[in-house]
Chains A and B, each alone.
Chain A
Amino acid sequence: MNERGELVTTQAPLEALRRALAGAYQASAHGREAVELRDDLEKLVCRVTVMSVPGGSNWLTVTALRGYEQDADRIRRLLRKHGFQSEDQWKSATVTMSGGERSDAVVARVLLRLQEIQDANLPGALAGTHVEFLHDFRVAIRRTRSVLREMRGVFIAEDLQEVRADFKWLQDQTSAARDLDVYLEDLEQLRSLAPEPMRADLAPLQPLLEERRRRARLAMSAALTGERARTLHGEWRGILHGLILEPENLRPDASRPIAELAGGRIRRVHDQMVRMGSAIDQGSAPEAYHELRKKGKELRYLLELFGAHLFDPELVKPLVSTLKLLQDVLGLHQDREVQAQMLRELAQELIGLAGGAQALMAIGTLVDRLEADSLAARGRFSSSFAQFSSAEQRRLVTDGFR
């Protein structure tokens, strides 16, 4: 799948490009979805593809012609200088904070930023313009839920319960569509895992998955534009803006310095992961790996949203690296398990289709292969977990996040 774009503008793209590049490059439309950029010799140096998304954002990808990479870099710099946002702005939840600030104020800022990301990505997710919109929308929800869980002491418990249920519901509404996005993206890779003579037999899978996705997207759109989602959207900002005014006696962590609260949570989640991982061996159920992966995401969000801004980067970066390695192994294990499960489910629907018998045989071979991959990931687990949970790493976490 192509990238969504690297720069974003809400202005009309051709005019915005002309204004930003005036005097340096000429911009001319090339069809409806591309702009050509020429230098002072009128030589074509870059092509810009434009993807317009409902909601008013235009996503640009600058591609240099061979030998004109330096022009492309200059063009990107000029565009950023003239207000084009980097794509990262639509997913990065970076919020400035200092360690001594009240936790409730910082948590509210982080959650408001996560809400901005959801709002920005929602139109693209609903329109299905590019799979990244739904992905980023869901990541922002997952991060929101993680913050609500880990920083629950800054909220009134009763209020929190309802909001957490709402965000869980919101995430659930998007799961089927996202899973199918991933299956369809992975289909080519899945095909390549099957023996060469059987690859063509998997052809009936694609239309089946596409139809499932179409239905899942319809259901998702109905939910995300429905009353419950609208109510949550309308009330959530108000709750966050008013958070610091809520009675502190019902919010035990509200006024604690954020570094103290976040550091404590990071230490605790790391410790929980060490204990969970230590109990896993080759014979453990897939759920044990899955639970550890979920906990790993929790730690990663804590590190990205708070740790990276509050603690020594020399401490945070290596921890994030070892965590990523571990998550990659757990992710491969989980992906293969889910893919195998999905194929088993689809097998039922394939039976009645033309070419279904051959497809079933190919799926059988493929499932064997996926299970072998999953087993291999289990084999790699112990070494990556050993690194993550080493005595040295545990000491660094215990001493450093204070």
Chain B
Amino acid sequence: MSKAKRDTRVIATYNIKGGVGKTSAAVNLAYLAAKAGHPTLLWDLDPQAASTFLFRVRPKVEGGGRGLLRKRSRTAQHIKATDHENLELLPADFSYRHLDLALDQFKKPAGRLRKVLAPLRADYDYIFLDCPPSISLVSEAVFEASDALLVPVIPATLSSRAYEQLEELSRSGKVGRRGRTSILAFFSMANVSKQLHLQVMERLRKIDQLTVLGAAIPTADEVEMMGEERNPVPVFAPDGTAAVAYAALWAEIEQRLHSAPAGS
């Protein structure tokens, strides 16, 4: 594909809450995209560096987050190949904890990440942003930069409220580029043997304004094993329930993304 014509989609895994499966989703979905032959980049924006750890890469970016934001022409120099074909990583750095402050120094902070990503679009079909759990200037910049926000929701009351809050923000035009950023929720750590999970899933699916994807990621040992294996689930448990669920989720996301025009 010609560099100028690449139809890149930027996908952020985001939730205000932590521990809901953002990193697992980012790592597994990015892996599946790459495995299907799409040049894919994952930017680990979380200073906790979980994605970076899972790909066995040292969480270090020379010049830190501030350097990345200021010298956007040099972003590509910090990218590392993962062990998987077509999948590259822009690692986390501990300095990302001050990314809000670094962004605030720009005239239009919310648009800065989008500008940093612009030159990378020529090289990748998909760019995943694994975001830290917060609502902050970084989140705003992520919303602005993304074609889709992928929101893992644990089907329990408190977690689902966080998603409803995000949906409210979206409806009031405060998420993304004037409504051009799709918000796609999916159930994460779902346990269908729990009555509560089933009730919450049913309730959220009935809210018209919310886009809840059909595929759900179950609670599964394989997902927890990722920390030990330091690999995406399909690499070490390709036939397990989690791998099958991530594949179904990715198929659905890809279909939805390509029914909407990409940002530029």
Contacts and interface: CB of A to CB of B under 8 A. Distances in A.
A41 B57 CA distance: 7
Nearest to B90: A67
Contact of B56 (A43, A66, A67): A43
Interface string A61-99: 000011110000000000000000000000000000000
B58 A68 contact: no
Interface in A202-234: none
Interface string A304-316: 0000000000000
A66 B81 CA distance: 5
Interface string B70-91: 0000000011110100001000
A68 B82 CA distance: 10
A43 B55 contact: yes
Contacts of B79: 66-67
Contacts of A67: 78-81
Interface residues of B, number: 11
Nearest to A43: B56
B230 interface: yes
Nearest to B83: A44
A392 interface: no
Nearest to A41: B56
B80 A68 contact: yes
Nearest to B56: A43
A41 B58 CA distance: 8
A66 B88 CA distance: 8
A118 to B, nearest CB: 40
Contact of A68 (B55, B78, B81): B81
A371 to B, nearest CB: 34
A54 B101 CA distance: 62
A42 interface: yes
Nearest to B53: A41
A66 B80 CA distance: 5
Contacts of B88: 66
Contacts of A44: 56, 83
Contacts of A65: 80-81
Contacts of A68: 80-81
Nearest to B84: A44
A365 B58 CA distance: 56
Nearest to A65: B81
A160 B70 CA distance: 71
Interface string A32-52: 000000000111100000000
A68 B56 CA distance: 13
Interface string B130-161: 00000000000000000000000000000000
24 contacts: A41-B56, A41-B57, A41-B58, A42-B56, A42-B230, A43-B55, A43-B56, A43-B57, A43-B58, A43-B83, A44-B56, A44-B83, A65-B80, A65-B81, A66-B79, A66-B80, A66-B81, A66-B88, A67-B78, A67-B79, A67-B80, A67-B81, A68-B80, A68-B81
Interface of B: 55-58, 78-81, 83, 88, 230
Interchain residue pairs A-B with the least CB separation, the first 8: A67-B80, A65-B81, A43-B56, A66-B81, A44-B83, A41-B56, A42-B56, A43-B57
Given A66-B80, A68-B80, 19 more contacts: A41-B57, A41-B58, A42-B56, A42-B230, A43-B56, A43-B57, A43-B58, A43-B83, A44-B56, A44-B83, A65-B80, A65-B81, A66-B79, A66-B81, A67-B78, A67-B79, A67-B80, A67-B81, A68-B81
